[in-house]
Amino acid sequence: MRRPAKQPYLSKSWMIVALISLAFLGMECGLRFEYEGNSHAHSWLDLVLFLGAYLFIFCLKPIQTAIHRKLCQRTLRSDRQKASP
């Protein structure tokens, strides 16, 4: 079965967004474990990390859309360059 021509890079763009999400999740966990040994005030740090993750969830779809658009534009540009000469 072939990919639809309308969205050929949809899974690739979601994979890139998933990797970005994992990087941010790793940074948040690392920050939490770093501060866990230094202080006993966990509530404000947990709240900040939770709110940051909550806001990041709303950014996932626009990030995926932008990556998908760039991948499609790059493909169109390379197709035009191949057809020109």
**Cβ atoms of 56 and 21 closer than 8 Å:** yes
**Cβ atoms of 16 and 67 closer than 8 Å:** yes
The identity of residue 30, as a single letter, is: G
What gap in Å lies between CA 76 and CA 21, rounded to an integer?
A: 28
pLDDT digits (tens, 9 = 90+) for 28-83: 878 777 776 666 666 777 777 778 878 888 888 888 888 888 888 887 777 777 77
pLDDT tops 60 at residue 1: no
